[in-house]
Structure 1
Amino acid sequence: MTNSSSIEPNPAAIGRVPAPPFVRLPDPGRLFEARRERLEFLAQASELAPYLRFVAGIASAQSAIQEALPEPELPPADALDRARAFGMPPLDRNRIAHDDVLSETLTRLFDAVSPLTKPLEAQAALERVKAATPEQMGGMLNSVLMEAIPADSIAEHVYVAAGLQVHFARLAAKLGSAQLVRIGDGTCPCCGGAPTSSLVVGWMEAEGARYCSCSLCGTLWNVVRVKCVLCSSGKGIGYKEIEGGPGTVKAECCDNCRGYVKLLYQQKDAALDPVADDIASLGLDLLLQEGEYRRGSFNPFLLGI
């Protein structure tokens, strides 16, 4: 593993002052299909191939079930206005109802992933999820939304998280950028979620800018570079990567809070996906576990590390 200093030059900023858009809302119709494609590509040359293909199957299911799903309903207009006025996410995860749309989303997702090749333990976990009572399902939904997964039921919660990702991505896509305000560097302005990872993008209107990717709804929000997205400190920021790699995935480590969030250089490889490449770079997490930094991001497909 190699280290680099806290000074990370941004060539895109030379000679101009970029003004990247604050957010890019998810496109649910493309989000999960692009993730599936990336996971299957990464599986071709990875020791994690079986797991990457399994998650690719989940992403395929997340994409496929949307076609016939009823439209989810946003909170009332007055609630959206109130959230903006008080600097809160409009999709309040504490108030999201377990309604018919969410129930159907979960049911279809569970059915769609049933045929996937998976370990016996994963199949047993899926059967337990499908047989859960409304009270049990409500508890699992709450655990995912609070990002507090019980260690003895991680596999069950992965399936629930996958269904919630679909539901929240569809809700976020119905919002307007003008309804959103900055809440915190490490907090999604749509749903209050933590980032899975962050991206240095190559978009024409935001080349070289950094965006965090929400672990729940898939929204991207702009955060300035060389700044910890966990504690907002601009001091003691360093970058670690696996030696000999392509230099497209690094861990941005903070000496202030001792946390790290991965930084993916999408401007170097446009195919990088904030979830897929976070999983595929598990080796970097394992190396960092031996040191002083803790993982500060949330990825439901990497629970337990």
Structure 2
Amino acid sequence: MAFFLETLFGGLMAGMRYSLVALGFVLIYKASGVFNFAQGAMVLFGALAMARFSEWIPQWTGIQGLAFANILAFIMAGAVMFLVAWLIERLVLRHLVNQEGATLLMATLGIAYFLEGLGQTLFGSNIYKIDIGMPKDPVFIFEKVFAGGILINQEDLIAAVIAAALVATLSIFFQKTSTGRALRAVADDHQAAQSIGIPLNRIWFIVWCVAGVVALVAGMIWGSKLGVQFSLTTVALRALPVVILGGLTSVPGAILGGLIIGVGEKLSEVYLGPFVGGGIEIWFAYVLALGFLLFRPQGLFGEKIIDRV
């Protein structure tokens, strides 16, 4: 039982990290109705900015405190992501208002390649580390309940708590604020939203700023665990099954989808892997997503689109 719970907790914590990346996809889709292929590049760009600023700030200021460097680096990296969001809206999206979804999709592909190249130009292409002070040593919990206790990675636990707090905050933002309702209106119909006075350019700028902050936090968490390198863009591929499972328009769906994927990967690898030679964790999420595409393409919480003719 202790081993099962240990595997379950590990899956839940991994699932929250997936949910954080998937949230970026959901945010952009809710505002523009297009799948943002630039999300992985945004995660990488935010992680690079955070890693390099945290290195440069002690050199610039002479202050060696880790907390001070990380706080200032986060503020500066956040400002950079806001600037990137403003440039994307000003130079790209503003000229594509009311265009077809395929046009916006291709625009996000162009943004992805541009951000990857710009990140390498500005911050370098080496492998960097992010030290945000999260303890990396595992600890044992419930030692009085189970013999030997349950082994928990402290870094994964803290990262899961941060991801959960951010997801909960954004979920409330979408459901309870006028801006959140405006975002949903824009996603449903650009022209109708404009006709009732919703400023489309401002809404897109806001949602890209929020998605940039989400990408920055995701980049910090994944960069702290894996190191900041250009393969970090593939983290977004791990979130694709999550958004398919939960639904492209649902913030709660991104949470539940991430938890299901995370737990499913861990349990299948541990309990089914020995019978098939292992490696289930690599393809489990994509097979599950394929099943949903075949039988419930809108996902668990996605809106079913019915065209009346």
Larger Rg: 2
Higher helix share: 2
Greater relative contact order structure (CA < 8 Å, 6+ sep)? 2
TM-score by length of 2: 0.30
TM-score by length of 1: 0.30
